[in-house]
Amino acid sequence: MTACQPTRSVPAAPAGESAGAWVSLAVVAAGLFLAVTSTTVVSVALPSIGTDLHATATDLEWIVDAYVIVYSSLLVAGGVMGDRLGRKGLFMAGAATFGAGSLAAGLAPTVGVLIAARAVQGLGPALLVPGSLTIIRATFADERRRAVAIGLWSTASGVALAVGPALGGGLVEAGGWPWVFLFNVPLAAILVALAGRLLPRLPRAQAATRFDWAGAALTTAGVAILAYGTIEGPDLGWAAPLVIAALAAGVAALVALVARERRARGPLIDVALFAQPVFTAANVAALVVFFAFVGAIVYFSAYFQQVQHHTAVTAGINVSAIGVAFALAASQSGRLVARFGPRRPMLAGLIIAAAATLGLLRLDQRTGIGAIWWDFALLGAGIGLSLTPMTAVAMSAVDAAQAGMVSALHNALRQLGQVFGVAVLGALVYARLPPAASAGRPLPAPQASLFINGLHHAIWVSGLALLGAAALAALLFLRQPPMRNDGQR
């Protein structure tokens, strides 16, 4: 199959599509909303958690990243298991696991218990998110309507980004930081019930080979160890033996994974897909986008609280312009992909996001939200515009039997970008500050100046990374075979 093809109109729904397809879309989008919200609500709660549980800066980073590491490292295995065991059942299991982890996190008496609970919480999206895109692919047979559906599914991320920080701030101020986790528990229970009643039971993939346990182990180990080294690098020093060993071991595991999967009969990851230039462009761009995007949300939230001494609610409202614009752009991006194909929306979105990010270099200690809200809005709009074509290209590269694997791989790269963004950009923001400064507490004026200096460095890295992703995508799309008049390549 090929990537979404340019056309001038969206056709009527095929006979196989019905109201049930849109109901299924609403359910799986709700699952994505919970998964993304669990990252954004925590970002504004970190100062309160640090104070109540006497957490160090590294502890706080692990509270964010324990969730994301488990989520990203198990996504591929979860996607392939869903293909074989059934997407509906695994989606329900993921929602239930997410709810259980949320309950444990909200009741955690110590930092160690909270980090462990966040890891359990991260297992939930690793099971339910890959099934989300697989269900969309199966229920929307037409590629152009599927692009619209993926755009609406992506909108759930934008809504979560829009309301998450403000919601987190409100929950912290109303009931304390445990409620940023406890509010998930009834929502997860409702999601399990809705999924059981409304999601279709899709045919399982007929596996010609046994499950690739070795590939799953190498994937999980490579992602998790590499993420561990990235997180510990800023705290221990990038030259520390433990950090070097972790980074080397993570890279070695991923190299071994590629070597194994190239010759395996039933590979967990079909690495031959990366021979398709547009597939590679879409996945690399997704990693870079989340590197720049989620890291920006975390550290702009910190800017408003630590430098300008705003409350968690105010900080959340200030950064919500990013998520609101994301949601609006993502809701329309699928229609643009259906009309024009994926190339132009993806490149335009990346360039807009890069320009908006670099525009924030004028930010200083006294910059009010009135002066930069439109930069935030353009950043969110650019990301929302670019993500749907990335996902549409990735999902259109394979047949139904591989949909879970590709969905999981694409989402895993997004989450891995998030891990690297939080760790690397955080290292830049707090590079010249004492360790205690990164625990989320308000900073005195001299330290606030150092924070701004580090934030500018992080902005440069994020903006240039987005421009680099745009350049790579443009180059690889140019290598696409020319399109014939019948729409085939």
For residue range 444-471, list pLDDT tens digits in order: 888 989 999 999 999 999 999 999 999 9
Neighbours of 395 (CB within 10 A): 25
pLDDT at 15: 41
In 3D space, the residue among 130, 487, 483, 153 whose CA is nearest the CA of residue 334 turns out to be 153
Is residue 119 predicted with pLDDT exceeding 90? yes
Separation between Cα atoms, residue 150 and residue 453, nearest integer Å: 38
Residue 12 belongs to some domain of the structure:
no
Best mean pLDDT range from 51-55, 117-121, 125-129? 117-121
Radius of gyration of the chain (CA): 21
CA dihedral 56, 60, 62, 63 (to 10 degrees): 140
Section 121-149 average pLDDT: 81
Residue 46 · residue 298 · CB < 8 Å: no
Residue 461 · residue 296 · CB < 8 Å: no
For residue 292, the enclosing domain spans 19-200+213-478
Separation between Cα atoms, residue 415 and residue 68, nearest integer Å: 6
Residue 462 belongs to some domain of the structure:
yes
Separation between Cα atoms, residue 73 and residue 224, nearest integer Å: 6
Separation between Cα atoms, residue 143 and residue 18, nearest integer Å: 15
Question: b or e along 305-329 (b: 16 or more beta carbons within 10 Å of the residue's beta carbon)?
Answer: bbbbebebbbbbbbbbbbbbbbbbb
Neighbours of 377 (CB within 10 A): 19
DSSP code at position 142:
S
| DSSP reduced 3-state for 205 | coil
Separation between Cα atoms, residue 397 and residue 403, nearest integer Å: 9
Section 269-286 average pLDDT: 83
Return the structure tokens found at 373: 């809200």
Please give the residue that has the higher pLDDT: either 354 or 79: 354
**pTM > 0.85: yes or no:** no
pLDDT band at 194 (very low <50, low <70, confident <90, very high): very high
Is residue 162 predicted with pLDDT exceeding 70? no
pLDDT band at 13 (very low <50, low <70, confident <90, very high): very low
Section 354-368 average pLDDT: 91
H or E, element range at 427: helix 426-429
Section 188-204 average pLDDT: 85
In 3D space, the residue among 224, 29, 222 whose CA is nearest the CA of residue 123 turns out to be 224
| DSSP reduced 3-state for 251 | helix
pLDDT at 390: 85
Residue 131 · residue 404 · CB < 8 Å: yes
Separation between Cα atoms, residue 412 and residue 77, nearest integer Å: 10
Is residue 253 predicted with pLDDT exceeding 70? yes
Residue 291 belongs to some domain of the structure:
yes
**Percent of the chain beyond pLDDT 90?**
23
Residue 196 belongs to some domain of the structure:
yes
Total count of domains within the chain: 1
What average pLDDT does the structure give for the chain? 81
CATH of the domain at 406: 1.20.1250.20
Residue 307 · residue 365 · CB < 8 Å: yes
pLDDT at 331: 79
| DSSP reduced 3-state for 202 | coil
Contacts of 278 (CB under 8 A, 6+ apart): 3, 342, 393, 397, 476, 477, 480
pLDDT at 97: 95
Place of tokens 């004026």: 445
Residue 489 belongs to some domain of the structure:
no
In 3D space, the residue among 275, 274, 292 whose CA is nearest the CA of residue 283 turns out to be 274
Residue 13 belongs to some domain of the structure:
no
Please spell the DSSP secondary structure of 281-348, one letter per residue: HHHHHHHHHHHHHHHHHHHHHHIIIIIS---HHHHHHHHHHHHHHHHHHHHHHHHHHHHH-SHHHHHH
pLDDT at 462: 93
Separation between Cα atoms, residue 149 and residue 210, nearest integer Å: 33
DSSP code at position 479:
T
Cα dihedral 437, 443, 445, 448 sign: positive
Place of tokens 């395996």: 264
Residue 309 belongs to some domain of the structure:
yes
pLDDT band at 319 (very low <50, low <70, confident <90, very high): confident
Residue 231 belongs to some domain of the structure:
yes
Section 297-315 average pLDDT: 83
Q: Which of 14-28, 277-291, 464-478 shows the lowest per-residue confidence on average (mean pLDDT)?
A: 14-28
